[in-house]
């Protein structure tokens, strides 16, 4: 099949809509559900991301996409006991691909609500069972076990979108798209992101351990498929904060840093011991946690509102307690899809525990950025690779 008619394009008024191949067949099969225009944009971008993560790290990889940018991405690094509890999978022996997706989904659970899932490896029954409990629009993977497919076909009253991607598919070197009736053409961005791009380290601290190199590569590959400008904070094999599509790079750094802070605050004892009611739905629990770690907890859960989610009213997580907990965050990696123009980005990154940085370099203020890294004993690699994505 080389053409697939769609219900509509980005919006219901944009009809007709279709995807098609000028030569050959479409590289994916629809195993369940009916794909939409944005579903397929998410599917094709997220598939490329997990495929490259798999190639770069040799580990199963997963991504959680929303509106053509990742909310989370990860490889199958085993979960610590703390993260098992934070991700609500305590005592469960997880398969590698399930671990990768649980990490990807755990990066920013609020943004992952209604996500599109990408897996680098076969979807097994455990991953499908975990996914069945989550609010999600669809999934793309190279294959599915029989049990996994049966589980996924029951999701969303049988309408859950399941796509099977041909892992051998290689697109043409040139890619085209139209904007306002004008055709744009460019060579595909096939730059290879490996540890070789992390060799130039102009900072005084030149020590980047293997785990940090892995995390920097995860950040850079994630950024390759994130709407620019973008930055990505990573730790322990997963994204923990992604800032996408901002006009100012420091706003990206702040946005992603705030998400990284929330990710870490979710692991604080005050949050891990919240007394949730047993009948609270997963999205409501996640929203309550984000409110609890925010600065407006007293306003948003004041009066008797707390009774909707908690068995007893939790004590306030004070600003001082949050700052003390965030001060223990360390060894975070930070990637940028282009150069940092000023040291203010590094100042903000330091507040979220960043120790390792990878960025393109080439700004007239590189010296200021290097000096700021040296101020905090960060190790920074200059890749000389820009990763804009539009």
Can you tell me the distance from the alpha carbon of 63 to that of 288, in angstroms, rounded to the nearest whole number? 24
Peptide bond into 130 cis (omega under 30): no
Give residue for tokens 């040139």.
174
Mean pLDDT estimate for the chain: 94
Task: Provide the pLDDT for residue 316.
Answer: 86
Q: Which of 67, 85, 153, 351 is catalytic?
A: 67
Task: Provide the pLDDT for residue 287.
Answer: 87
Q: What are phi and psi of 277, to 5 degrees?
A: -70, 145
32 counts as catalytic: no
Task: Provide the pLDDT for residue 301.
Answer: 63
66 counts as catalytic: yes
Q: Which of 39, 229, 235, 322 is catalytic?
A: 229
Task: Provide the pLDDT for residue 306.
Answer: 83
Q: Which of 32, 39, 45, 66 is catalytic?
A: 66
Task: Provide the pLDDT for residue 77.
Answer: 97
Task: Provide the pLDDT for residue 305.
Answer: 78
Can you tell me the distance from the alpha carbon of 116 to that of 112, in angstroms, rounded to the nearest whole number? 8
**Beta-sheet strands, E only, within the chain:** 3-6, 17-20, 28-32, 61-66, 69-75, 115-119, 136-141, 161-165, 174-179, 182-187, 230-235, 238-244, 332-336, 354-359, 379-382
307 counts as catalytic: no
Neighbours of 249 (CB within 10 A): 23
Give every residue of the chain whose pLDDT is below 50, as ranges: none
DSSP codes, 270-310: HHHT--B-TT--HHHHHHHHHHHHSTTHHHHT-TTGGGGTB
Give residue for tokens 């899809």.
337
Task: Provide the pLDDT for residue 117.
Answer: 98
Q: Is 323 helix (H, G, I), strand (E, B) or coil?
A: helix
Q: Which of 146, 157, 173, 390 is catalytic?
A: 390
Give residue for tokens 């098609």.
20
Give residue for tokens 């949730």.
276
Q: Which of 337, 316, 335, 319 is nearest to 327 (CA)?
A: 319
205 counts as catalytic: no
């Amino acid at each position: 099949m080389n053409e697939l008619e769609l219900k509509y394009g980005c919006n219901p008024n944009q009809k007709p809509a279709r995807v098609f191949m000028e030569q050959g067949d479409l590289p994916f099969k629809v195993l369940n559900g009916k794909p939409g225009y944005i579903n397929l944009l998410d599917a094709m971008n997220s598939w490329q991301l997990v495929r490259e993560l798999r190639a770069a790290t040799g580990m199963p990889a997963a991504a959680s996409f929303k509106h053509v940018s990742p909310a989370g991405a990860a490889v199958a690094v085993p979960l610590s006991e703390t993260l098992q509890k934070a991700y609500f999978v305590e005592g469960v022996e997880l398969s590698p691909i399930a671990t990768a997706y649980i990490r990807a989904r755990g990066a920013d659970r609020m943004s992952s609500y209604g996500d599109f899932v990408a897996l680098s490896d076969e979807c097994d029954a455990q991953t499908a069972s975990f996914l069945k409990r989550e609010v999600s629009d669809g999934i793309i993977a190279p294959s599915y076990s029989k049990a996994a497919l049966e589980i996924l076909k029951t999701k969303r009253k049988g309408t859950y979108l399941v796509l099977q991607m041909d892992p051998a598919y290689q697109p043409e070197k040139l890619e085209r798209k139209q904007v306002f009736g004008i055709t744009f053409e460019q060579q595909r961005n096939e730059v290879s992101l490996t540890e070789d791009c992390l060799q130039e380290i102009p900072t005084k601290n030149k020590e980047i351990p293997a785990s940090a190199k892995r995390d920097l590569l995860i950040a850079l590959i994630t950024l390759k498929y994130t709407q620019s400008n973008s930055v990505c904070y990573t730790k322990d094999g997963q994204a923990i904060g992604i800032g996408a599509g901002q006009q100012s790079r420091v706003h990206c750094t702040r946005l992603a840093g705030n998400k990284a802070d929330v990710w870490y605050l979710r692991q604080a004892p005050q949050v891990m011991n919240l007394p949730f009611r047993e009948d609270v739905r997963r999205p409501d629990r996640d929203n309550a946690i984000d409110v609890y770690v925010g600065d407006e907890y007293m306003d948003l859960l004041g009066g008797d509102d707390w009774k909707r989610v908690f068995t007893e009213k939790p004590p306030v997580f004070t600003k001082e307690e949050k700052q003390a907990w965030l001060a223990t965050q360390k060894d975070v990696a930070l990637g940028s899809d282009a150069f940092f123009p000023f040291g203010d980005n590094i100042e903000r990154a330091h507040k979220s525990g960043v120790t390792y940085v990878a960025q393109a370099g080439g700004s007239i203020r590189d010296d200021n950025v290097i000096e700021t890294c040296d101020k905090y004993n960060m190790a920074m690699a200059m890749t000389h690779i820009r990763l804009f994505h539009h």
